[in-house]
Structure 1
């Protein structure tokens, strides 16, 4: 496959909602180039304030909507229907109809606010992190990734530069994941309200519904908003960390054999992760460009390249492992399938798994610093000893 634009490789046909959200984010962030310096303390504090402010607004929305739904529940039950004592299910039907209509309207307004609040927070964080959203296909890739995060859209379900991230995942799991993504903000919020109403409606707390439901909804909204903005921070900081790694590769190139190991190992990591992250798309394209590879496609042959990794010279082996650690920490905490894959890499090299180093690199990345900035190649080798 010939060279393809990263934005079209990641999301060939953005939806109407994605295009609208992209325009909104671009109005909030005019950056066209990746920052050349690490984020300073003032910029990091600004990012944290944005995250905390957005979470606080989402909690306020939860308190208001939860209180309104709880108060409406109590008033309809106790004020209008005198506790609904002795009423048959048929006689309760008007009450249930009214409850679901009012709860649905309140929830819809709240959910719309949550999406707007998240989108505004994502736009502000991307600006504070220095993420480019204009003037290049790479910036367009970052933009599309941020819009999907803000809208809580799942990752695209297709091959990326010849790699199928879902090759090791069954179809039924893909279907379940798609349903769960669509329920995450909208349907799940509404169902939570109905469930809590039913549970609390059967206990002695019935008269305290307005007081109890508000804090519960606030906590739910806080969790969702924090996860969205944390992912946005991760994506917004990705280009800087990746470009810093590419500068090192350009100054001190790898051998052809090590390059092939990097690409195939990276492809295997994406497949092990069972998801496609915009930072991975960006990094893969930059590896192609840095290595001077014209055909932007990989047919992953991990068993053979695993053996080739173990046969590399010690210095290159460390550098390959560093690149793959970087590829891991820029998409999330190192755990589950990503952790198992890294453990397999170090086992192939007969080295101990450097858990503390990986945690430190993850912190550096999320703080907008150069990953591994304290160590040179020699100190890197000592870290694996």
Structure 2
């Protein structure tokens, strides 16, 4: 079990866990690593399309009464008009959110069954980084907990104020889009377009954003589930092959620095990286803090260990940096210092691995997650 203080799941997360626990399990009976990538991608796409279709239906059903009431009471006194609009909007929005949460939870549950996560769980990852907790936060778009594991601070090089502002902008996207579309159409076409009240423009906007939410949720669920499965696969391979026992004490700490600095460069504690960090921490049996997010110390480790150990650390650093499915500007600025003369070799691998994770090619990603003492 992880030895850091784990916050209790919020009530919102508990809501997600409740449904994930009662959904019926449908296991395909084989490991996802035994299924061709093309088939996995096709099945995930089907789950996504079904989720988008249901979210669109929910959006149409819930936004229609809000528009109808607005039009029906258009000539009523101000408080009557907007009293009805406010009441119906609150009720319809609550129903819509509940339905979208259910659709999202059902979709991520189906993806987890598709990947057969029962075969990829590990007892050391129970609690807030268990599969269901991760899926609940993904489906409900809840931020992952801000933690410092082994002293690693993911927000070391980013302002939390910036994160807060970005969050507000994201949450207000539907309101802003509706406002811009509505008043743009009123300015160009008046109160009606082809005999249809402009207010009904909110329906396609709602359908669009609901579809984007479901698409984003399933993408992130697939990425996190793939990362979870890959991290455990890598750790199990390290344990069975005995590679970690061949490392010097400095190289062992270099493993944690490789992951820790990837976390800092990514600027978030993506669950994929946390899982990789926790599995390696347990395998290496290192519990004390030692500035594992210090970039200069990581570079010092690379320059101090043997050539074979350096190759191993760069392998691990490359895998960790790719595990959130994207490359940050900060990563690109630092990679040359780590890879040095081998930049083209490792950066090409990093781009391919990131691409495989983004596009849902699990087995192709696994082929690039090898950790050995060979360069590249």
Preserved contact between residue 266 and residue 328 of structure 2 (Cα < 8 Å): no
Summarize the alignment of residues 1-385 of structure 1 with structure 2, pairs less than 5 Å apart. 5-6=1-2, 9=4, 11-28=6-23, 38-41=33-36, 42-77=39-74, 80=75, 92-132=78-118, 136-140=123-127, 141=129, 142-176=131-165, 179=168, 184=171, 188-189=173-174, 192-193=177-178, 196-204=181-189, 206-207=191-192, 208=196, 209=198, 211-250=200-239, 251=241, 252-253=243-244, 254-256=246-248, 257-293=250-286, 295=287, 297-300=289-292, 301-347=294-340, 351-352=343-344, 354-365=346-357, 366-369=360-363, 371-373=365-367, 381=375, 384=376
Cα displacement (A) at 1:67? 4.2
Distance 1:342 1:143, change over 3 A: farther
| In structure 1, distance between residues paired with 2:366 and 2:121 | 29
For 1:267 and 1:376, locate their aligned partners in 2 and report how far apart those are by CA, in whole Å: 19
Q: Deviations over 1:243-297 (max 9, x none)?
A: 222244331335223222221132122122221122222111111122233x254
1:42-80: CA deviations, max 9, x gaps? 444322211221122222223334444444444443xx4
* Residues 167 and 359 (structure 1), Cα distance of their counterparts in 2 relative to 1, 3 Å cut: closer
User: Per chain length, whose mean CA-contact separation is higher, i.e. which structure has more relative contact order (CA < 8 Å, sep 6+)?
Assistant: 1
Secondary structure of residue in 1 paired with 2:326:
coil
The residue that corresponds to 1:84 in the other structure is: none
Q: Distance in 1 between matches of 2:4 and 2:87?
A: 42
Question: Tell me, which stretches of 5 or more residues in structure 2 are unaligned?
Answer: none
Distance in 2 (alpha carbons) for counterparts of 1:374 and 1:358:
9
* Structure 1 segments unaligned to the other structure (5+ residues): 82-90
* Alpha-carbon distance in structure 1 between the residues aligned to 2:176 and 2:318: 39
- Is the contact between residue 125 and residue 275 of structure 2 (CA under 8 Å) also seen in structure 1? yes
State TM-score, norm by structure 1: 0.79
Change (3 A) 1:197 1:97: farther
What secondary structure does 1:371 align onto? helix
Q: CA deviation at 1:354?
A: 4.4
Matches of 1:200 and 1:57, distance apart in 2: 28
Deviation at 1:100, TM superposition (A): 3.1
Post-superposition shift, 1:304? 2.5
Judge conservation of contact 2:32–2:115 (CA < 8 Å) in 1: no
Q: Say if 1:325 and 1:342, in contact at 8 Å, map to a contact too.
A: no
Q: How far apart in 1 are the matches of 2:264 and 2:26?
A: 32
RMSD over equivalenced CA pairs, Å? 3.4
3-state DSSP of counterpart to 1:276: coil
- CA gap of 1:353–1:102, structure 2 versus 1, over 3 A, is farther
SS of the residue 2:157 aligns to? coil
Aligned-pair distance for 1:31?
9.3
Q: CA deviation at 1:190?
A: 5.1
Structure 1: distance between partners of 2:343 and 2:253 = 21
State the distance in 1 between where 2:46 and 2:73 align. 40
The answer (yes or no) to whether the contact 2:31–2:115 under 8 Å persists in 1 is: no
Change (3 A) 1:54 1:44: same
Counterpart Cα distance in 2 of 1:178 and 1:206: 33
| Residues in 1 aligned to 2:45 and 2:82: alpha-carbon distance in whole angstroms | 42
